[in-house]
Chains A and B, each alone.
Chain A
Amino acid sequence: MSDAPLQRSNDSAQRRPATPMAQQILDRGSLLDDAKAVPNGLKAAGAVLGLGFLAVNAAIAFIVIDGRLDGEWYDFRDLGNAIARLRAELDDTSAGPWLSYWVTGVIGAVGILSFLGGFLLIGSWIERRLLARFQIRMGPNRVGPFGLLQPLADALKLMQKEVLIPLGADRMLFYLPPILVFIPAMLAWGPVPWAPNMSYLDLNVGLLYVISITSLSVLAIWMAGWASNNHYALLGSMRTVAMMVSYEIPISLSLLVVVLLTGSLNLGDIVAWQADHNIWLGALLPFAMFTFFFSSTAEINRTPNDIAEAESEIVAGFHTEYSGMKAGLFLAVELGNALLVGALLATFFLGGYSMFGLEEWIPPYLILAAKATAGYFAFIWLRATLPRFRIDQLMSFAWKYLIPLSIANVLVVAIEASIAARWDVEGIFIYGSFAIVNLGITAFAVRSWAKVVGYTPDLERPVGTRIAPRIGGLKEAKRIQAGA
C-alpha cells in the first residue's frame, strides 16, 4: 500500500478498498439483494398468504365494527374477550369460582410459556445470524435450512453434557440458582397486557410487581457466584449485585414518571391511556425511555453493560462453573429477559398493544409481539455496535449521571402532570407541547450535565489530528474532497 492519502473517486471500478475487510464490506449483498434472490414461486405464495390474511382480518373487522357481533370478537384475534366469556360461563356452573380460576390460569400459563418457548427456540438463531451479519460473517448455517435447527442442536448438546459440581462448592446453593433465576423471568410476564382484557395477572400494582419480581433475580445470581467456590464467579456475581442494585434506582424513577402522567400502576391502564391520547409515552418522556432502556441492559447483562460475564476479563462471570443444561438455563433466561424488557419497553413507552387504531384491524397481541421483537433487535444492534463499559464507569454513570437527571425529570413531569390535570384543553395539544418541551429540556440537561460531571481530561482532548493525516484520516479526506 502506498502512503497516498485516501482518494475519493466517483468511478466505482477504480475504487480500491484499503483492507480485505473493506473489500468484503463492498462485496456483500444487501438485504434487498437477499430479498430479490427468493424464488418467484415462494414470493407469490407469500403474497397470496399475506393478502389473504389481511383480507380475512379486514372482513372480520368490518363485521365487528359494523356491530354485527355486539362489538366484540370471539375468534383468534381477541383471545381476551373469548377467555373472559369462558370464565363467565364457568362461573355459572355449579363447580364454583375455583374451576374458572384453574382453567384460565392454565390457559394463560400455557400461552405465555409456549410463546416464550417458541421464542427461545428461534431467538438464539436470530441473534447469532444478525450478529454475524453485523460482523460480516455467515453465522450458523449448517443445521437444517438456513441453520434454523441450530438452537435445537445446541439444546440437545447441552442436555447430554454432564453437570459438574466443583470441589468445595456449596451443594445446596449450587443446585438452586438456575431454577430460581427462571422463576422471576417467567413471573414478570404476568401483568403485560397483550390486548384489552388480556393480561395474565391484571394487577392494580402491576408496575410495582414487575419491579419487585425482577429485583429477585439478584439473589439467585449472587447464590450462583457464591456457591461455585470460584474467584471469577464470585467477582462476576458481586459485580452483578452492585450493578443491579445501582440501576434499579434509575429504572424505578423512570417508571415513576410514567405513573405520574398516566395516574395508574396498572399496565393495562397505562396502555389504554396512551391509546386514548393517541401519543406514545416515549415521545412524551424521552429521557425516561432512555433511562429505562439503558438501565435494563445493565439489569439483564446485555452488551454495553455486560460486565457481569465479561468474557475477556472474568471467564463467564457468575456461571463460570455451570455446565450442561444448568448453563443452558442461564443462557435461556438471558434471552427471554431481553424479550421481556422489549415487551415492557413497548408497554410503558411505545404504546403497548395499541398502534393508533391499527389494533382494530389486526390482533393486538401481534402488535405487542412485533414491538417486543423490535426491542430485542435493538438489543442485538447495541451488542454488535458498542464496546463494554468498565465497572467504575458503569457505577459512576448510574450514580452521578442517571439518578440526578432522573430526579430532575420527576420534578419536571410532576409540574406537567399537575398542569394537565388542572388545565382543560384538548389532550393532544397539551401533551404535544409537553413532548416538545421535554425533548428540549432533555437535550439541554443531558449535554450540560455531561459537561459538569463528565470525564473529559484536558490532556487527552485532541486539538487536531496527529497521526491521521499521514495515513489519510477523516479530516484529511474532507480537505482533499473539498478540492485542495
Chain B
Amino acid sequence: MESTGIVVAFYVLSAMTVMSALSVFLMRNLVHAIVFLVLSFIGMAGLFVTLSADFIAVAQILIYAGAISVLLVFAVMLTPLASRNNGNSLYAAPGLLLGAAIAAIVVFTAIDVEWNELTGTALEERAFLDTISGIGDLLLGRYILAFEVASVLLLFALLGAIVLVTDRGEVDTEAEAEDGASGAVAADDAV
C-alpha cells in the first residue's frame, strides 16, 4: 500500500462494492437488485486484483458474475411480481440478526488477527508472481481429498438434476423426447 494508484483503486472499488451491495437490498425491484449484485461481484473481483490474486479475481467474475447471476436471473424470472413492490418481508428481523452476527464475526476476526503489513523491499521479496500454479499444486497435492470430495459432490448434483427432469415410467416416444429435450429450460420448469 504505497503507490497512490493502488490506494485510489482500493477506495473506488470499495465504494463501488459497498454502495451496490447496499442498493441490492434497498432496491424494490428484484431485477435491479440483481444488476447491482453483479456490480458488487465485479467490485470484489477488482479488489482481488489489487491484492494480485489474479486467479481468485477471474474465478470471482467467472463463477459469481457469470454463473451465479444467471441462476438468480432464472429464479427471478420464475418469481411472480418480481418487478413490483417488494418492500415487506416476513424475514426482516431474522435477516437483520443474521447479518449483524456475520458482521460481528468479520469485525472480530479483523481485530483479532495480527496483520503483518509489509512495505518496501520486504514486500517485494515476498511478492508472489504466479498464484495459479501454486493453487494447482495445493489442490492436487495437499488438499487432494477435499478436491475429490467436492468433485464427487458436484457429480451427484449433476446426476440429481438429470434424475429430476427425466420422465420415468412413460413410453419414450419421439414427440415426448423432443419436448423434453430443451435442456435447461425444462429443468427449471421441473424444479
Contacts and interface: CB of A to CB of B under 8 A. Distances in A.
Interface in A24-39: none
Interface in B1-52: 3-5, 29, 31-32, 35, 38
A219 B132 CA distance: 27
A211 B32 CA distance: 25
A392 B184 contact: no
A83 interface: no
Interface of A: 96-98, 101, 170, 172-173, 176, 203-205, 208-209, 211-213, 215-216, 218-219, 222-223, 226, 238, 241-242, 245-246, 248, 265, 391-393, 395-396, 398-400, 457
A396 B183 contact: yes
Contacts of B54: 203-205
Contacts of B35: 173, 176, 219, 223
Nearest to A263: B133
A215 B62 contact: yes
A395 B55 contact: no
A219 B69 contact: yes
- Kindly name the residue among B5, B32, B35 whose own CB sees the greatest number of chain A CB atoms within 10 A: B35
Contacts of B32: 172-173
B151 interface: no
B109 interface: no
Contacts of B65: 212, 215-216, 219
A347 B105 CA distance: 47
14 contacts: A96-B3, A98-B4, A204-B55, A204-B130, A204-B132, A215-B62, A216-B61, A218-B70, A219-B65, A222-B70, A223-B31, A242-B184, A391-B182, A398-B183
Interface of B: 3-5, 29, 31-32, 35, 38, 54-55, 58-59, 61-62, 65-67, 69-70, 73-74, 77, 83, 129-132, 174, 178-179, 181-185
Contacts of A209: 58
Given A211-B62, A245-B70, 15 more contacts: A98-B3, A101-B5, A170-B31, A173-B31, A209-B58, A215-B66, A219-B65, A219-B69, A223-B31, A223-B35, A242-B182, A395-B184, A395-B185, A396-B181, A457-B174
Contact of B132 (A205, A218, A400): A205
**Chain A to chain B: the 10 pairs with minimum beta-carbon distance, closest first:** A215-B66, A212-B62, A395-B183, A396-B181, A212-B61, A392-B182, A208-B58, A392-B181, A399-B183, A242-B184
B134 to A, nearest CB: 11
A213 B45 CA distance: 12
B70 A241 contact: yes
Nearest to A393: B181
Contacts of A216: 61, 65-66
A216 B62 CA distance: 8
Secondary structure at the B interface, as helix, strand, loop or mixed, is helix
A331 B25 CA distance: 35
A226 B70 CA distance: 13
Contacts of B182: 242, 391-392, 395-396
A29 B111 CA distance: 80
A176 B39 CA distance: 13
A248 B184 CA distance: 13
Contacts of B29: 170
Nearest to B63: A212
Contacts of B69: 219
A203 B49 CA distance: 12
Contacts of A393: 181
A215 B77 contact: no
Contacts of A248: 66
Contacts of B73: 219, 222, 241
Contacts of A211: 62
Given A212-B66, A219-B70, A170 B38 contact: no
Nearest to B64: A212
A238 B73 CA distance: 10
Given A392-B178, A392-B181, A205 B61 contact: no
A375 B69 CA distance: 31
A246 B31 contact: no
A146 B4 CA distance: 53
Contacts of B62: 208, 211-212, 215
A204 B133 CA distance: 9
- Kindly name the residue among B67, B70, B183 whose own CB sees the greatest number of chain A CB atoms within 10 A: B183
Contacts of A226: 31
